[in-house]
Amino acid sequence: MDSVDNFLGILHEAHRENARSAYFAKRPFARPPRNQNRSTMPMTSFVYEFFIYNSIYQYDWEKSCATGKLTPWLRESSGESGLREDEQQDNLEAFIKERCKETPAILLRAFEPLSELTELGDDWTKVVADARITQQDGQDFFRRLSEFADRIRKSQEQEGAELARGRIFKLIYNCRFFVYKVRNNIFHGSKSLDETSEPNQRRRIEVYDLFLKCLVSLFFLAMKKEPVASDEFQFPIHLRIGDQERIDVDQGGVIELLGPRRGLGLKPEDTRLIQRLKRLGIEERGSEITERSTLFYPSAGTDVILPTLLGLPFCSQFYFYNNGSDFGESRRTDTARAIRSKLKKLVGDRIIGDPTFREDEFVFQFAFGGHDRAIHCVCRDNLDFLNQDVDLTFFFHRGDSPGECGCGQYWDSELLGQLVRKVPPNAECQVLTDGEPGGVHSGLLPDLKQLHFSVTERGRDYYYGRFSGDALGSRLA
C-alpha cells in the first residue's frame, strides 16, 4: 500500500500547493514596463492542475487500492485492450461515483465553489470557435455549468440535502469532456499567452480551472485526503463601487492579499463571501455617501481589508477598534506599514502618503469614487465608538469571542440598541457579522440572511443584510 499512499500524498500536496500559488512570467530582456512580472493566472494554474489530473486518471484505482500496487491502464497505443485518455477519465469517474455512495456529502463539498459563479449566461462566456471547439460546445458547457451551480445552491438551501448523483455525474462527464478539449487546444499550442490574457478568455479559463480543481478535489476527498483545492480556491475580485468605480483584483493579486491565519489580509473565505454578497445584490445597494457615513468594526484585530472593500459604496469613514498591541504604540508603525501595503494592492495609488499618527489612533486618508475617505485604526475600547459623532451605515463584526483576546461585549444583541441610535432617521445600515459573542438579536434576525460556507477561518456562519434605523429601533424598544 506504501507506493499508492506515497504517490497520493505527493499529488495531494501538489494539488493543494497549486490552489495557494500565484504564477508570474518575467521577460528580463524586454524594456520597461514589459519586463515587469506579468501574472499568468489562471492559465498556469489550470495547466498544472491538468498535469495532476492526468497523473491520476492514468491509473486503475479500483485495482490499485485492492492490491496496494499502483496499476496503470494500458494505453490506446499498446493494442486493442488499451484505453483512450477520455476512457481512462470515464473509469476514474465510475470509481469516484462508487465511493460517493459511502460518503455523498463529499460531492457537495468538492463542487461547492461552483455555486458562487455568477453571470454564466453573459457575453464573456461566448467561446472563440476553432478546429476543436464550436460555439455550440461552449454554450452547452456554460448552460450545464449553470444547471450544476443551481443544483448545488438548492442542496445548500435544503441544508445538506443530497445531490442527485446520477444527474451530477452526467454533468461532470459533459463538462469534463469540454474542459479536456480546451486542454488539448492549449497543449497543442492553439492559444498564445497573449490570447489567454484577453479579459473574457481569462475569465473563461478561470471557470475551466475551477471546474477541474473541483473534480480533482472530489477524487482526493473520495480517497480521504483533505483539505482540498475546493476548500481553498480563490475567486478574482470584480466589484462595482457605485456608478463610477470598480475594483478588480485578479487571482494572483488575491493570493497576495491573503493573510496568515488570523493575521492581516483576506481570510480564506473572503472572495467567496464577496461572490455570495454580489448574488445578494450588494453592488446594487450603494447609498448616498456623506462625510459622516461610517463603518464600525469592534475588536477588528488587523482585519481591515475586506471591510474596507465592502464598505466603499456606503461609507467615507472606517472605524477599526483594537485595544491590543497591533494598534498600540509599540507596534503601530509596523502595523500601519503592513496595512498600507495591502490597501495599495486594493485601491492602487489612491492611498495618500503615510498615515497620520495621533495619540491612540492612526488614520489613512485617500479619495475614491469622488469621496474623501478616512480609515481610523483606533487603539481604545470598542465602547468608545458610541461617543463618536457619526452616522452608522455599515456594521461589520467577525472573529470576536467572549474571552481569550475577544471583547466579551455583545455588539449583535445587548449593545445593538445603542448602535441603532447612530443610524440616521430614514437611513439604512448594512450588516455583516458572524454574531459572536452572544448571538444575533432576534429583532435583527428577520433582516439578515444566514450564509454558510463549508470552510471558514473560524468555522462560523455569517449573517448579511441591512436594517432601517427607525424600523429596528422600534422593534428593539
Ligand X SMILES: C[S@@+](CC[C@H](N)C(=O)[O-])C[C@H]1O[C@@H](n2cnc3c(N)ncnc32)[C@H](O)[C@@H]1O
Per CB under 6 A, residues contacting ligand X are 262, 299-301, 303, 321-324, 381-382, 398-401, 405-407
User: Which grid cell sits at 82?
Assistant: 488499451
Distance, CA of 459 to chain centre: 15
| Residue whose CB is nearest to ligand X in the complex, by number | 399
CB atoms within 10 A of CB 75: 13
Tell me the closest approach of the beta carbon of residue 380 to ligand X, in angstroms. 7
Q: Which is nearer to ligand X, 138 or 311 (CB)?
A: 311
Q: Which is nearer to ligand X, 92 or 415 (CB)?
A: 415
* 365 phi, psi to nearest 5 deg: -120, 140
Can you list the positions of beta strands (E) in 369-455?
371-378, 391-397, 428-433, 448-451
Q: Which is nearer to ligand X, 46 or 319 (CB)?
A: 319
Nearest one of 283, 281, 218 to 247, comparing CA atoms: 283
Give yes or no for a contact between 327 and 334, defined as CB atoms under 8 angstroms apart: no
CA distances 244 to 239, 286, 293, Å, are 11, 11, 18
Tell me the closest approach of the beta carbon of residue 431 to ligand X, in angstroms. 15
- In angstroms, the CA 410 to CA 416 distance is 8
Tell me the closest approach of the beta carbon of residue 263 to ligand X, in angstroms. 8
* Partner residues linked to 352 by β-bridges: 365
Q: Which is nearer to ligand X, 145 or 416 (CB)?
A: 416
User: Which grid cell sits at 442?
Assistant: 432576534
* 239 phi, psi to nearest 5 deg: -130, 130
Nearest one of 472, 429, 398, 425 to 311, comparing CA atoms: 429
CA distances 347 to 28, 266, 312, 373, 467, Å, are 27, 14, 10, 12, 28
Tell me the closest approach of the beta carbon of residue 347 to ligand X, in angstroms. 20
Tell me the closest approach of the beta carbon of residue 354 to ligand X, in angstroms. 23
Tell me the closest approach of the beta carbon of residue 441 to ligand X, in angstroms. 19
Q: What is the residue type of 326?
A: D
Q: Which is nearer to ligand X, 127 or 305 (CB)?
A: 305
Q: Which is nearer to ligand X, 301 or 469 (CB)?
A: 301
Give yes or no for a contact between 221 and 269, defined as CB atoms under 8 angstroms apart: no
Q: Which is nearer to ligand X, 437 or 443 (CB)?
A: 437
Nearest one of 402, 395, 440, 457 to 421, comparing CA atoms: 395
CA distances 465 to 249, 278, 306, 397, 399, Å, are 25, 12, 16, 13, 18
Tell me the closest approach of the beta carbon of residue 433 to ligand X, in angstroms. 11
Tell me the closest approach of the beta carbon of residue 373 to ligand X, in angstroms. 21
Dihedral in degrees, nearest 10, Cα atoms 306, 309, 311, 312: 170
Q: Which is nearer to ligand X, 115 or 294 (CB)?
A: 294
Q: Which is nearer to ligand X, 171 or 305 (CB)?
A: 305
Distance, CA of 337 to chain centre: 25
H helices present in 348-455, as ranges:
416-420
Tell me the closest approach of the beta carbon of residue 275 to ligand X, in angstroms. 20
Q: Which is nearer to ligand X, 300 or 432 (CB)?
A: 300
Would you tell me the crossing angle of helices 43-57 and 165-187 to the nearest 10 degrees?
Answer: 120
Residue 66, Cβ density class (10 Å: 0-12 exposed, 13-18 middle, ≥19 buried):
exposed
Q: Which is nearer to ligand X, 229 or 375 (CB)?
A: 375
Tell me the closest approach of the beta carbon of residue 432 to ligand X, in angstroms. 12
Q: Which is nearer to ligand X, 202 or 398 (CB)?
A: 398
